[in-house]
Amino acid sequence: MSKEDFDSYSNEEETEIISRSQIKRETHELQEMGEFLVDMSKNQLANIPLTDELSEAIVLARRLKSREARRRQIQYIGKLMRNLDMEPIHQAIEKIRTQGQRHQILRQQSIEWAERISQEGPSVIEDFLSEFYHGDRQQLRQLQRASAKEVTANAKLEEGKKPAKVQLGKLQQCLLEAMELQ
């Protein structure tokens, strides 16, 4: 090999060598993402930029009952995704995941607020409204009184009977709606 051949060889762009293990890891990641897409609701899936072919494959995977057929279909979905630009899909999925996490946190907070309001009374409603100003003061007070009555009725129950928590649930839902508007 002459010096000129060596120089021309070293100046060419070198292709990145990807190991077989790396290819397998990437393939498994795409399959996991495909399975996540299959498990999403139709409303969530509508917010993700997918090709028609990929959308049809996801719909078909949902209809399959056989575990093995579903596994093969998810592999096919992963294969289809190899040829796509995954960045917009990743961003849409992360947005959905963070919304789900936010909703879980708000739900837990609404449970805690509902229990405090039910036990401690109207002063806690004012604390809640100072933090979450979208709440309806009148509705919250009505629900607080109803849940307080429910608590006293539950205290009088015979042993073995299940206590009612209808008003507490309504109070919690009202609080959650106010928190989500924030």
Q: Where are the domains of the chain?
A: 18-84, 100-181
Lowest mean pLDDT of 59-68, 82-91, 123-132, 157-166, name the range. Answer: 157-166
Per-residue pLDDT, averaged over 12-33, amounts to 84
Q: Give the pLDDT confidence score for residue 7 in this predicted structure.
A: 52
Chain mean pLDDT for the chain: 83
User: HSE (CB half, 13 Å, CA atoms) of 114?
Assistant: 26
Q: Give the pLDDT confidence score for residue 57 in this predicted structure.
A: 94
Alpha-carbon Rg for the chain in angstroms: 28
Q: Give the pLDDT confidence score for residue 71 in this predicted structure.
A: 93
- Confirm whether pTM is higher than 0.95: no
CATH architecture for the domain at 18-84: Orthogonal Bundle (1.10)
- 24/29 Cα distance (integer angstroms): 9
- The secondary structure of 80-106 as a DSSP string is HHHTS--HHHHHHHHHHHHHHHHHHHH
CATH for 100-181?
1.10.60
Specify whether the CB–CB gap between 144 and 118 falls below 8 A.
yes
Dihedral (C-alpha) 65, 68, 70, 74: value to the nearest 10 degrees?
Answer: 180
Residue 11 pLDDT greater than 80, yes or no: no
- The secondary structure of 100-141 as a DSSP string is HHHHHHHHHHHHHHHHHHHHH-HHHHHHHHHH-TTS-HHHHH
Q: Do domains 18-84 and 100-181 have the same CATH topology?
A: yes
- Collapsing DSSP to helix, strand or coil, 165 comes out as coil
Residue the block writes with tokens 């879980």: 104
The two three-digit tokens of residue 100, written as one number: 């789900």
- Collapsing DSSP to helix, strand or coil, 161 comes out as coil
Question: Treating both helix axes as pointing N-terminal to C-terminal, what angle do 20-39 and 52-63 enclose, rounded to 10 degrees?
Answer: 70
